[in-house]
Amino acid sequence: MAAGALATVWVSGPAASAVGAGLAVAVFGVTSERAKALLNKRAEQRETLPRHVLAAGASGRPRRVRELDDPIALGVHPAEAITRAVDGRTVVDRVPPYVPRDDQHRLRELADAGGFVLLVGDSTAGKTRAAYEAMRALLPDHALIVPAGRTSFTAIVPAVQAERRCVVWLDDLERFLGAGGLTSNTINRLLDSEGGRDTLVLATMRSREHDRYSAREEPEFHGPERDSWRDARSVLELATVVELRRGWSDEELRRARAYADDPRIRSALPKAGPLGLAELLATGPQLTRDWRNAWRPGAHPRGAALVAAAVDCRRAGLHEPQALETLAELSEHYLAAAGGALLRPEPLDDALTWATAPSQGASSLLLPNDDGRFLAFDYLIDVAGLDRIPQATWDALVARATPAQAFDLGQAAEQRMLYPTAASAYRNAAGIADAEVALAWAISNSGEPLSALREVDELLALRRATYDPSDRRILRIRWAQAYCQMLAGYFTLATAAFAQLADDQSRLLGRDDPEALETRREHAVALANMGDFPQATQILEEIIERQQTVLGPSHPSTLISQGYLTQLLSECGDFERALKISTELCAAWERVSGPDSPWTLRGRGGLALATFRAGNPARAAELLHELARDRERVLGTEHSHVLLDKCWLVVFESMAGNKDQATDLLAKLIADRRSSLGESSSYAVLAADLITLIASGGRPSGTGMRQRLSDFLRACASVLGTQHPFVSALRHSLGELLPD
């Protein structure tokens, strides 16, 4: 037995497995086929595990918690390095003494009890260090399993179930959620206590990521994107959450003063106020300043561009480290946009050295891993005022993404209302569940509803052969089908489809189910498209009342319904009430989603339109000029919402009597569209392009679409003259689109 035991410790994973298997057969006579299969399976698992676990030992077995005494290896941000004398040796110390947090006692109780514990807080709030210290203090003899990525759980579950006592460590939990990743079923399997197993799943997550999965965020997701969101939310609902504040309490600072003999803590204490002590020790603010200052000519502009590329990779939904070649390729766009050669960028090797150099011996802007890949320091992702992600970055990431990564990119693009980019990403997500529905949804919102409708029709026929009609997956595809029918102009079909689906959902899910309420809302919109504004308004008001009771007045789904109500009220001539609700809605969206949320921007657009309809085009133009600047900054110059703003500015300025301003705006709009569509584009092509944009630029449509198009034609004729070739082309295209 001694020889076998030593082999298990010292021999490599595959060899140790073979020795163990042979010893079992020799000693115990385990020769049955079933036993051999079991041993072979265990040997295979032992061989496979090191590829999926970051903290596996040399034998392929998981290490014990007490064997890992380096918190940095588990994700703790290092602090400034200092040297200490230990047993006559000089050692470099990058981890200051741990100062217990106010929630430490509760965290220890939860960790000791096992289960799924999640620490939530801002970047550098001290989440990972608090979790590490609790685990080390209470569970030193537990096996420690650290998944390498979100596709590792198939290999990890059997390894966890083979241990009587185990900690599964999930630092930055968002990295493990999404297509092919952690599910609620996986969590339940990990925590299965059969045979007296004691397992703790210990995770951390940034507050901004955790907030994405609050109930109020659900309406911002649609179709398969919503299904993926719900899968992730179902994981989080299993966790007991401990929130760690960014700022430190007076009591925590008092405890920190007991460790003032450490020069790093002593130096940080006087600065601790709005910034937490952990944040200062990790040098987050200093790194942010370093990054911003590096763009100066002759400083480190290429290094700053590498960091910008890595930050945007994470903002685009890719939370795993990226290859240097990827970051170097992406960085060229950021360099060119900032000034290119005029910045005198340094060589790539120098840029990487600067970006990975620890600030004051602590964290670095780019964090390298053992595979030669790099991850942006998570503090930078939440820095205020970041520019929008360039289209070149989206395109490059989509082109090189795996199917699972492509689905993540599609979701991130869709949340920003970048529907063409989302469609491009979903096309590369073959094999990911419901990627086809997500693709159809993105295509329909990109202005190609007929193409999307064909895909949804085919998919629904396939799914009906597999699932019961009452299955939520069928109900959601039916919703997508009706939605595409409406966008394609098949208003009668869409009205009937939404009405039937609303009845079915109310019967199967309950009349107040959030999805049933949303379907009834879309039924009201479909009725408005048919021109039945009074009935549509009545239904929508009833839905809003139920949503305010069931979901709350500030729930995004309630706010979306109110946005449609303002449009319907304007169609019915109740301009005063439409303006009042639009004003309240803008404030609510900013409070709920933040100033740069696409929904907040859309709400501001609704306010400008309501102001115009209420008879104040001059004020509407002021509001829209402000919105156009913000929307272009957030969404980019080619986004359909930005182009619509420019169309409406022509209308508003013309109606306000500012003919010169309207003329300049229209001339620039025509020139910009010609630049995008081709310099040889005729007025007929330009007119058709803008009419299509305006016609699809808002709901309800029907009569409202006619009004929008008529307003634009009238404004163009006012500033250019009725005989101008562009006005003639507009009139001709309108006659084809809306024959009376």
> DSSP letters of 648-665?
HHHHHHHHTT-HHHHHHH
Where are the alpha helices (H) located in 29-89, listed in sequence order? 33-52
Judged on CB neighbours under 10 Å (0-12, 13-18, 19+), 85 is exposed
Q: What angle do CA 225, 229, 235 make, to 5 degrees?
A: 150
Question: What residues have CB less than 8 Å from 6, skipping those under 6 apart?
Answer: none
Which residue is it, tokens 């090191």?
50
pLDDT reading at 546 higher than 60: yes
Q: Dmax of the chain from CA atoms?
A: 100
With bands split at pLDDT 50, 70 and 90, how would you rate the model's confidence at 22? very low
pLDDT reported for residue 60? 63
Give the whole-number percent of the chain exceeding pLDDT 90. 52
Q: Which of 463, 465, 467 is nearest to 440 (CA)?
A: 463
CA 723 to chain centre: 49
Which two tokens mark 129? 């260090």
- The whole-angstrom separation of Cα 15 and Cα 11 is 6
pLDDT reported for residue 23? 36
| Of 107-116, 322-331, 500-509, 671-680, the least confident | 671-680
Asked if omega into 219 is within 30° of 0 (cis), the reply is no
Q: Which of 708, 709, 698, 646 is nearest to 672 (CA)?
A: 646
Which pairs from 524-528 meet CB under 8 Å and 24+ separation? Answer: 524/564, 524/568, 525/486, 525/564, 525/699, 525/700, 526/482, 526/486, 526/491, 526/494, 526/495, 526/498, 527/495, 528/567, 528/568, 528/571, 528/699, 528/700, 528/701, 528/702, 528/704
Chain length of the chain: 740
What is the pairing mode between strands 322-323 and 240-243?
A: unpaired
pLDDT reading at 591 higher than 50: yes
pLDDT reported for residue 14? 34
pLDDT reported for residue 393? 96
With bands split at pLDDT 50, 70 and 90, how would you rate the model's confidence at 25? very low
With bands split at pLDDT 50, 70 and 90, how would you rate the model's confidence at 621? very high
pLDDT reported for residue 688? 84
The pTM of this model reads: 0.72
pLDDT reading at 590 higher than 70: yes
Which two tokens mark 511? 């009349």
Which two tokens mark 622? 């002021």
Contact 305, 348 (CB under 8 A): no
- The whole-angstrom separation of Cα 637 and Cα 295 is 24
- The whole-angstrom separation of Cα 587 and Cα 577 is 16
pLDDT reported for residue 119? 97
Which two tokens mark 55? 């903290």
What is the pairing mode between strands 89-93 and 82-86?
A: antiparallel
pLDDT digits (tens, 9 = 90+) for 239-261: 999 999 888 899 999 999 999 99
Q: What angle do CA 155, 161, 166 make, to 5 degrees?
A: 100
Q: Which of 359, 248, 374, 243 is nearest to 311 (CA)?
A: 374
Contact 48, 60 (CB under 8 A): no
Q: Which of 236, 402, 242 is nearest to 317 (CA)?
A: 402
- The whole-angstrom separation of Cα 740 and Cα 737 is 10
Stretch 699-707: mean pLDDT, rounded?
A: 59
What is the pairing mode between strands 366-368 and 373-376?
A: antiparallel
- For residue 246, give the 3-state DSSP assignment: coil
Helix axes 104-113, 127-138, angle to 10 degrees: 50
- The whole-angstrom separation of Cα 465 and Cα 47 is 40
- The whole-angstrom separation of Cα 387 and Cα 467 is 44
How far lies 661's CA from each of 633, 668, 717, 720, 724, in Å? 22, 11, 14, 12, 18
Helices and strands counted in the chain (H then E): 35, 11
pLDDT reported for residue 56? 55
How far lies 176's CA from each of 117, 145, 318, 319, in Å? 15, 14, 11, 9
Stretch 173-189: mean pLDDT, rounded?
A: 90
Per residue, the 3-state secondary structure of 680-728, as one string, reads CCCHHHHHHHHHHHHHCCCCCCCHHHHHHHHHHHHHHHHHHCCCCHHHH
Q: Is the dihedral angle over the CA atoms 384, 385, 386, 388 positive or is it negative?
A: positive
Phi, psi of 161 (to 5 degrees): -70, -20
pLDDT reported for residue 385? 75
Contact 514, 484 (CB under 8 A): no
Average pLDDT, whole number, for the chain? 85
With bands split at pLDDT 50, 70 and 90, how would you rate the model's confidence at 49? low
Half-sphere exposure of 224 (CA within 13 A, CB side): 24
Neighbours of 64 (CB within 10 A): 17
Q: What angle do CA 560, 561, 565 make, to 5 degrees?
A: 120
- The whole-angstrom separation of Cα 520 and Cα 503 is 9
